[in-house]
Chains A and B, each alone.
Chain A
Amino acid sequence: GQNIDQPTEMTATEGAIVQINCTYQTSGFNGLFWYQQHAGEAPTFLSYNVLDGLEEKGRFSSFLSRSKGYSYLLLKELQMKDSASYLCAVRDRADSSYKLIFGSGTRLLVRP
């Protein structure tokens, strides 16, 4: 089966660092995406990992361990505007097609 788990909510302080974890179980893993979604808006792409290791992009970094079925999104120097939901999505290969399977998202609240 397919399963993606993320914490439901997290709270952090402006200027701090926060790590949002994602664990997954899929039969045809072919990459992992992180998306950011502000309330009432569309999800927007943050990062993509297909190989093990850390991908850094400005204040955001994403890590993947395929053997452990685990990823995390690291947000540094938190800003108030980072308050949003963060969605982990696995690219799963089934037959001859791919699809993105989303977790339920982690709602991050950044406090002053």
Chain B
Amino acid sequence: DTAVSQTPKYLVTQMGNDKSIKCEQNLGHDTMYWYKQDSKKFLKIMFSYNNKELIINETVPNRFSPKSPDKAHLNLHINSLELGDSAVYFCASSQQHGTEAFFGQGTRLTVV
């Protein structure tokens, strides 16, 4: 059973397009996150949701919009994609906010 699953695993798209990444966790956790890992492997938090409520919203362009329909799902929609958005995006979840996080397999986004 996959604990945290995100789709797609790979995403190649052109500049200016709009795309979404989906994430689901079956661990019964209350908190979900989106992280961005750039080419230097630096993992940086973007958003955090606790019981469907936005807790953390780092300095991220408003082209990025997270949506949590329920506490098991946290999707990420990106408008008007730019070259600099190319990275690996990881979804994660934890029992409570700030505790041990379990990561999804990552989505490698390439903007051309």
Contact = CB atoms under 8 A, between A and B. Distances in A.
A43 B103 contact: yes
B101 A97 contact: no
A97 B43 contact: no
Interface string A71-93: 00000000000000101010101
Chain A, interface SS category? strand
Interface string B94-112: 0001101111111000000
Contacts, number: 52
A45 B101 contact: yes
Size range of the chain A interface in the assembly: 20 to 34
A104 B37 CA distance: 10
A54 to B, nearest CB: 19
Interface of A: 30-31, 33, 37, 41-45, 48, 85, 87, 89, 91, 93, 97-102, 104-105, 107
